[in-house]
Amino acid sequence: MTRTIIDVDDDALALAARHLGTTTKKDTVNAALREVADRRRRAAAIQRMREMVADGEIDLAGSDEEGQIGGAA
């Protein structure tokens, strides 16, 4: 882990800590960085799935309203 000195927006940090459930500045910053990376990774996966559906590689015609294939939970 790298030690870095930065200026941080205190209000944004407090808000992020509340949303993330963290109690220290270090935990909040690290959780926020992971959250951003995870969201980008998930967004890229969703985009790949959309492309696969558009290309006919995945057929969602058999899924029900909740997205369950074959209507089973």
CA angle 17, 23, 26 (to 5 degrees): 85
pLDDT of residue 1: 87
Burial (CB count <10 Å: 0-12, 13-18, 19+), residue 28: buried
Tracing tokens 């890229």 back to the chain, one arrives at 44
pLDDT of residue 70: 55
**Per-residue model confidence (pLDDT) at position 64:** 65
Q: Output 8-15 pairs: Cβ under 8 A, ≥24 positions apart.
A: none
Could you give the CA distance from residue 11 to residue 38 in angstroms, rounded to a whole number? Answer: 23
Reported pTM: 0.70
pLDDT at 71: 52
**Per residue in 19-71, pLDDT tens?**
999 999 999 999 999 999 999 999 999 999 999 999 989 887 876 666 665 55
